[in-house]
Amino acid sequence: MEGEIRNFLIGIRSIIMFLGVILIIFGIFFIFFPRLIKKINELGKKILFNDEGALKHNVTTGIIFIIIGIIIFLINFFLR
């Protein structure tokens, strides 16, 4: 039973770590490469989403993503 719980928690930590990395990458792209985000948005607008509001405030959105990503990393390390 303990082994199953331990494996489950390791899986959860891995997912949290992955989400943290993704959010940090998105934050960096929103801050430093807003044109690339806009091009990707234009290509996927009809299929997936429309985030023009986030692109108007690219630095704020990027900083929020980075902060959330760092918080996720810290939570992951405190779970150990």
Written as six digits, the tokens of 17 are 């770590």
pLDDT number for residue 47: 57
Tell me the per-residue pLDDT of 23-48, one tens digit each, with 9 for 90 and over: 999 899 999 999 998 888 887 776 55
Would you put residue 32 in left (φ > 0), alpha (ψ -120 to 50) or beta? alpha
Mean pLDDT of the chain: 81
In percent, the amount of the chain with pLDDT more than 90 equals 22
Range of the domain at 34: 2-78
- Number of structural domains found in the chain: 1
For residue 52, pLDDT over 70 is answered with no
pLDDT number for residue 49: 55
